[in-house]
């Protein structure tokens, strides 16, 4: 009996290992599919009140795991491996996460290249505000303040305090918001934030109108509001240097079925839209956040001399060379050729010596050719591709460049012909003279 | 386990109330729900909606909402259902199949009802759990409703079996073995009990029913409420797997209680306000997110629509934002939860409260007029002399027919928040720059209705004064929520000021001497922008009123620098300018003709030498005549020729190493043959001299 116990334990641990979910990785070129998302809510009723948004994620193949934000079993990683690829944080009022999760763990999760959608409302806790601040979005510090706009509010029969905002001031980026323009305004009710000017990675995706301000609608305004006009960001997006993507919304209702289904009429405009732009906005933005769009990969970086196919280990100055790279974009299902006309390659040593826009065959192949500069040293082929909404590509390949060898210089220079002729005529004269001198009598 | 659940419930309450406070006006079920229903329930090609349960829920929703469920569309469903009925299956499926047959009105000739009845009867007898009993009894009831004769064999026993699962607090257990009790189960049990009563005829002992009625009262003690009178049920201390959420729990209890009330001979003593509170809860959800929730909502509202306890009547305002300018009328609709019109009743506006709960004294109780054509109660606002603002309106609804008053639940007082908006007049808008002693002042009138811009100039010793007056349509002074003056420097540094209010006037005085530091000593043009806005102001203003040229002193060294303006984050995107390498220019060379000409010149001396030799008359008499010396001489000169040829080759293609190697061999060879030749020549010339 005693002998059997260890083996039983082993068996049990084996079973538990098998049953535990497979570890998840951040978006990787090799396995971009099968993505697990943890949804943290502070009320499970959100699951039904925001179901259209969640269903759109599920229908695109995501596995959502709903948990209460104070669930004591919360954990993002186990044995050093992350259990999820993305986090949807719809728990604005949570003041402390359950389990081992805390602000630094969320940050660590993003630092590991994972994606985050964060939505808050007027009950935003310090914890949630802190996470937003880490991503470069500073929410209004006044806990009672909401965004008010007396000029571009959504006309509604039931809502008179102008906190329901209809905004159509969207970031101009097809990759973030999809190719189809969002025509209807987007309904927003919540708190505003400003983007940290020191953070160049965070961008305003939905901006308030110039007449907006952030204040408590119930009390008199005694001092100027801290956030006003177009400096208020309603929804911001951030793409970190490791390509982790974060979306921060000051309104949780923006994602709700009620707003997604609501009709909208902007104040001062006669047009009534049957449906707000929210559904399109949240669906497209979520596609971007979870890397269904705008994720690029570069493969098959090649370079060779013109007329050859093999890649040399070294170039000589003034060689003509060809450089090519294939770039693909992840479409959510497969890698599609990426088509653009602004991919540039640099021939770089301390600073770019050559910077050239590559031509494309529209099938993902970008190529160009140029002459190696007449400076020798260790150069790099560099492709630094940063475009709004796309993941940044940074390719570098080192290649030395040597000067001419002694026998590679020009040999028969016409300007030197008089010197050659002089030498050879002297030599000829010497030959004749030696004969004449010895045998003349 | 209990702690997180309690926390969760608390959070739910907070969230829920936040959800409700915004929409305190509830609206009856409308066409929005009908179109939502068609979106939620999309039949597959064969007319079914998935499982039998889902199909039942879809069809039941369609039935309640009066949507098209013509049998042609669902003929396939009828067929699959009747197949299901004739094959052995679970009571749950049987129950749903019978329900679907009833809803669709399928032809029932082929269905063996006797067999089904006996199967269900056995199921009732053998049932051990509440759900089993619920489905089998529900099935029997459906069969009975189809006009078949069904009598429950042991009604008292069954009643007792269900009752045995009840708990002292009004909740029920799912089966004998389970320890936890649930409010959701209570609803199911009540519905099952109601089925027993209707299947049994009058056999049931009235005292037993009275006990159940007591249970219901206890159950309603558990009801939770929001501040605005909305009531709902929620589970407490249940297994998270069995947790149903407030909507499902409330729906289950509503169906159960109304079903029981329908079969109970005496009226249930619950109270109309509780029924109304539940109706408000279901309506306040709006359109739920899932098909299941949608079914719960519609089904329970349907059971409230015609219940025997009291029929809830909801008061709804088509609009709570009323414009005084457009002379909007205050319109009120009183309908049942499905929007069908109520009996004749009177709606009166009791009080009008300001946001700080003060009564508007000028207002006295008014009864709303009734427009029978549109079935709307209305009130003209303009004679009431109520100013713009946010008000709480308190209504009272009373049914005219004294007998009907018991039948309907209207609620005691209904509080609705409304906004009265109007056009705010901007008067006496002035802007002036004055010296600090206020001796001279140049006043400029501002006309905010026109697109006119003013331009001013001032130095740091002067003051700027901006004043304006805002009046409501009734001539009172108006204090808007947003009243901000913005100064924007050319470098995009902004400063905001809130004008102060004093005796009906808004006034902003800027003493630039005290502001130089705040303005970061930045001289130059400042755009002035005025924003006046309020929720009740129909003509909110945001416009530039002009600019001021400020002449401020030079900044001292230690002055604070203006904050850095954020650079456009989009600027780092986009292609960079192309760079191409500039190659070293090749050295300049003389033209080829010149080089060739000079080459010709360098060959000339050789020609002159050859001509000179010929002129001298060169002979080779000294050349050895005997064989051996002659061979050496030829070899010697051939060697010299070879060396010279090697030089030519060196120039043409050979490198230094090959050349030196060859030259080494040639040199040794030349030394040898040269020595032989020269020593022979020396000896012959010595012989001649001696001779």
State the residue for tokens 């008359």.
B617
The dihedral formed by the CA atoms of B494, B500, B504 and B509, expressed in degrees to the nearest 10 = -70
Please tell me the distance from the alpha carbon of residue B237 to that of residue A165, in angstroms, as a whole number: 40
String of DSSP letters for B288-332: -SSHHHHHHHHHHHHHHHT-SS-EEEEEE-S-SEEETTTT-EEEE
Q: Tens of pLDDT along B27-56?
A: 788 887 888 888 778 777 666 777 888 888
The pTM of the full predicted model, rounded to 2 decimals, is 0.76
Closest partner residue to A150 (CB to CB) among B479, B534, B641 is: B534
Q: Do A160 and B15 lie within an 8 Å CB cutoff?
A: no
The residue among B91, B52, B95 whose CA lies nearest residue B74 is B52
- Sorted by sequence, the CB contacts under 8 Å of residue B501 that are 6+ apart come out as B479, B507
Q: Identify all chain B residues contacting A202, using CB atoms and an 8 Å cutoff.
A: 569
- The token pair at B1 is 């386990």
Q: Is ipTM strictly over 0.90?
A: no
Shortest Cα distance, chain B CAs vs residue A183, angstroms: 22
Cα separation, A48 vs B290, in Å, equals 6
Sheet of strand B462-471: strand arrangement: B441-445, B425-435, B462-471, B505-511, B500-502
Q: Do B595 and A441 touch (CB under 8 A)?
A: no
Q: B146-184 b/e with 16+ CB inside 10 Å = b?
A: eeeebebeebeebbebbbebbbeebbbbbeeebeebbbb
Residue length of chain B: 691
Which among B289, B609, B621 has CB closest to A48?
A: B289
B642 CB neighbours in chain A (<8 A) are none
- Closest residue on chain A to B320 (Cα): A158
Closest residue in B to A222 (Cα–Cα): B498
Q: What angle do CA B675, B679, B685 make, to 5 degrees?
A: 150
Can you tell me the distance from the alpha carbon of B400 to that of B342, in angstroms, rounded to the nearest whole number? 11
Task: Collapse the DSSP code of B157 into the 3-class scheme (helix H, G, I; strand E, B; otherwise coil) and give the result.
Answer: helix
Structure tokens at B322: 């009323």
Whether residues A158 and B23 touch (CB distance < 8 A) is answered with yes
B-facing residues of A in 392-431 (CB < 8 A) are 407, 413-431
In this prediction, the residues of chain B whose per-residue pLDDT falls under 70 are 1-25, 45-47, 69-73, 201-203, 237-242, 289, 436-441, 566, 691
Closest chain B residue by Cα to residue A152: B540
A156 near A104, Cβ under 8 Å? no
DSSP state letter for B569: G
Cβ distance of A161 and B537 shorter than 8 Å:
no
Say whether B425 sits in a helix, a strand or coil.
Answer: strand
Q: Which of residues 89-128 of A touch B (CB under 8 A)?
A: 93, 98, 121-123
CB contact under 8 Å between B19 and A420, yes or no, is no
> What Cα–Cα distance (Å) separates residue B285 from each residue in A65, A258, B25, B321?
24, 9, 12, 21
A233 interaction partners in chain B (CB closer than 8 Å): none
Give the integer Cα–Cα distance in Å for B567 and B559.
23
Taking CA atoms, B627 is separated from A96, B211, B647, B674, B676, in Å, by 119, 156, 30, 16, 13
- What gap in Å lies between CA A294 and CA B12, rounded to an integer? 37
pLDDT (tens, 9 = 90+) of chain A, 441 residues, equals 444 455 555 555 555 544 444 444 456 655 565 588 999 998 777 887 888 899 999 998 898 999 888 888 888 888 888 889 899 999 998 888 988 888 999 999 999 889 999 999 888 899 999 999 998 899 988 888 999 998 888 887 667 788 899 998 898 888 899 888 888 999 999 999 998 888 888 999 999 999 999 988 888 887 888 888 888 999 999 999 888 999 999 999 999 888 888 888 888 888 889 889 999 999 999 999 998 888 899 999 999 999 999 999 999 999 999 999 999 998 878 889 999 999 999 999 999 999 999 999 989 999 999 999 999 999 999 999 988 889 989 999 999 999 998 878 888 888 889 999 999 999 999 999 999 998 887
Torsion of CA B297, B299, B304, B307, to 10 degrees: -170
Half-sphere exposure of B667 (CA within 13 A, CB side): 6
């Amino acid at each position: 009996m005693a002998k059997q116990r260890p083996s039983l334990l082993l068996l049990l641990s084996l079973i538990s290992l098998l049953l535990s979910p497979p570890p998840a990785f951040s978006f990787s070129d090799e396995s971009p599919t099968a993505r697990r998302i943890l949804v943290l809510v502070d009320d499970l009723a959100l699951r039904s009140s925001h179901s259209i948004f969640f269903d759109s994620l599920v229908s695109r193949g995501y596995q959502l795991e709903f948990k209460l934000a104070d669930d004591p079993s919360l954990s993002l990683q186990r044995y050093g491996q992350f259990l999820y690829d993305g986090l949807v944080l719809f728990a604005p009022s949570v003041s402390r996460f359950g389990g081992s999760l805390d602000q630094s763990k969320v940050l660590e999760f993003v630092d590991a290249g994972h994606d985050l959608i964060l939505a808050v409302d007027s009950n935003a806790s310090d914890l949630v505000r802190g996470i937003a601040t880490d991503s470069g979005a500073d929410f209004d510090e006044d806990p009672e303040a909401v965004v008010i706009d007396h000029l571009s509010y959504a006309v509604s029969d039931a809502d008179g305090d102008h906190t329901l905002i209809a905004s159509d001031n969207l970031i101009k980026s097809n990759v973030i918001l999809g190719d189809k323009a969002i025509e209807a305004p987007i309904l927003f009710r919540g708190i505003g934030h400003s983007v940290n000017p020191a953070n160049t990675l965070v961008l305003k995706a939905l901006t308030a109108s110039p007449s907006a301000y952030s204040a408590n609608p119930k009390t008199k305004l005694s001092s100027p509001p801290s956030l006003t006009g177009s400096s208020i960001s309603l929804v911001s997006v951030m793409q970190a240097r490791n390509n982790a993507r974060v979306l921060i919304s000051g309104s949780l209702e923006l994602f709700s079925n009620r707003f997604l289904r609501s009709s909208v009429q902007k104040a001062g405009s006669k047009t009534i839209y049957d449906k707000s732009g929210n559904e399109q906005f949240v669906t497209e933005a979520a596609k971007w956040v979870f890397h269904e769009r705008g994720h690029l990969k570069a493969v098959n970086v090649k370079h060779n001399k013109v007329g050859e196919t093999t890649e040399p280990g070294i170039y000589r100055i003034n060689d003509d060379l060809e450089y090519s790279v294939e770039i693909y974009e992840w479409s959510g299902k497969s890698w599609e050729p990426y088509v653009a006309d602004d991919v540039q390659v640099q021939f770089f040593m301390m600073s770019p010596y050559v910077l050239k826009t590559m031509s494309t065959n529209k099938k993902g192949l970008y190529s160009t050719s140029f002459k190696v500069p007449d400076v020798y040293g260790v150069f790099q082929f560099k492709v630094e591709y940063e475009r709004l909404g796309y993941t940044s590509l940074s390719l570098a390949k080192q290649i030395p460049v040597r000067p001419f060898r002694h026998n590679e210089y020009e040999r028969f220079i016409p300007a030197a012909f008089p010197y050659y002729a002089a030498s050879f005529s002297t030599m000829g004269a010497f030959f004749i003279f030696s004969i004449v001198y010895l045998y003349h009598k | 386990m209990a702690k997180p659940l309690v926390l969760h419930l608390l959070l739910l309450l907070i969230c829920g109330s936040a959800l409700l406070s915004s929409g305190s006006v509830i609206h009856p079920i409308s066409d929005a729900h009908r179109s939502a229903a068609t979106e939620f329930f999309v039949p597959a090609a064969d007319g079914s909606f998935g499982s039998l349960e889902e199909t039942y829920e879809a069809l039941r929703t369609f039935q309640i909402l009066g949507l098209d469920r013509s049998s042609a569309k669902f003929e396939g469903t009828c067929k699959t259902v009747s197949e299901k009925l004739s094959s052995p299956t679970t009571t749950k499926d049987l129950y749903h199949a019978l329900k679907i047959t009833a809803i669709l009105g399928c032809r029932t000739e082929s269905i063996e009802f006797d067999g089904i009845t006996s199967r269900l009867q056995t199921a009732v007898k053998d049932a051990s759990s509440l759900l089993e009993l619920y489905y089998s009894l529900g099935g029997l009831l459906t069969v009975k409703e189809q006009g078949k004769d069904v009598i429950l064999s042991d009604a008292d026993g069954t009643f007792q079996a269900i009752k045995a699962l009840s708990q002292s607090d009004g909740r029920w257990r799912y089966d004998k073995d389970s320890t936890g009790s649930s409010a959701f189960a209570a609803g199911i049990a009540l519905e099952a009990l109601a089925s027993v009563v209707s299947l049994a005829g009058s056999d049931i002992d009235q005292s037993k029913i009275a006990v159940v009625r007591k249970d219901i009262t206890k159950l309603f003690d558990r009801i939770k409420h929001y501040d605005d009178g909305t009531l709902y049920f929620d589970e407490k201390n249940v297994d998270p797997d069995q947790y149903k959420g407030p909507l499902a729990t409330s729906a289950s209890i509503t169906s159960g209680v109304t079903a029981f009330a329908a079969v109970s001979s005496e009226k249930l003593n619950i109270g109309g306000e509780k029924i109304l509170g539940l109706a408000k809860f279901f309506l306040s959800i709006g359109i739920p997110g899932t098909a299941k929730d949608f079914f719960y909502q519609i089904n329970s509202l349907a059971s409230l629509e015609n219940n025997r306890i009291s029929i809830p009547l909801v008061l709804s305002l088509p609009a709570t934002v009323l414009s005084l300018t457009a002379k909007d009328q205050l319109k009120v609709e009183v309908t049942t939860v499905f929007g069908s019109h109520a009996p004749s009743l009177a709606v009166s506006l009791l009080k009008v409260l300001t946001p700080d709960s003060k009564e508007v004294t000028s207002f006295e109780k008014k009864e709303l007029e009734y427009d029978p054509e549109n079935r709307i109660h209305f009130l003209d606002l303009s004679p009431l002399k109520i100013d713009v603002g946010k008000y709480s309106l308190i209504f009272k609804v009373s049914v005219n027919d004294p007998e009907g008053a018991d039948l309907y639940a209207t609620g005691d007082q209904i509080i609705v928040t409304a906004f009265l908006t109007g056009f705010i007049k901007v008067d006496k808008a002035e802007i002036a720059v004055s010296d600090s002693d206020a001796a001279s002042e140049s006043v400029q009138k501002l006309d905010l209705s026109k697109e006119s811009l003013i331009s001013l100039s001032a130095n740091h010793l002067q003051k700027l004064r901006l004043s304006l007056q805002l009046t409501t349509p009734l001539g009172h002074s108006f204090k808007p929520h947003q009243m901000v003056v913005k100064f924007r420097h050319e470098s995009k540094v902004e400063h905001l000021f809130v004008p102060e209010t004093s005796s009906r006037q808004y006034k902003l005085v800027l003493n630039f001497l005290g502001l130089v530091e705040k303005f970061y000593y930045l001289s130059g043009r400042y755009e002035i922008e005025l924003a006046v806005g309020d929720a009740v102001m129909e003509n909110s203003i945001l416009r530039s009123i002009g600019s001021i040229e400020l002449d401020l002193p030079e900044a001292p060294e230690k002055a604070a620098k203006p904050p850095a303006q954020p650079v456009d984050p989009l600027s780092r995107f986009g292609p960079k300018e192309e760079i191409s390498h500039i190659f070293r220019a090749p050295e300049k060379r003389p033209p080829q003709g010149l080089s060739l000409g000079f080459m010709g010149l360098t060959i000339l001396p050789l020609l002159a030498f050859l001509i000179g030799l010929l002129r001298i008359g060169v002979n080779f008499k000294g050349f050895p005549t005997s064989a051996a010396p002659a061979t050496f001489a030829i070899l010697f000169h051939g060697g010299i020729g070879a060396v010279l040829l090697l030089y030519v080759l060196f120039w043409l293609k050979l490198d230094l190493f090959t050349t030196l190697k060859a030259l080494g061999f040639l040199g040794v060879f030349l030394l040898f043959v040269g020595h032989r030749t020269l020593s022979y020549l020396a000896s012959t010339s010595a012989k001649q001299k001696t001779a």
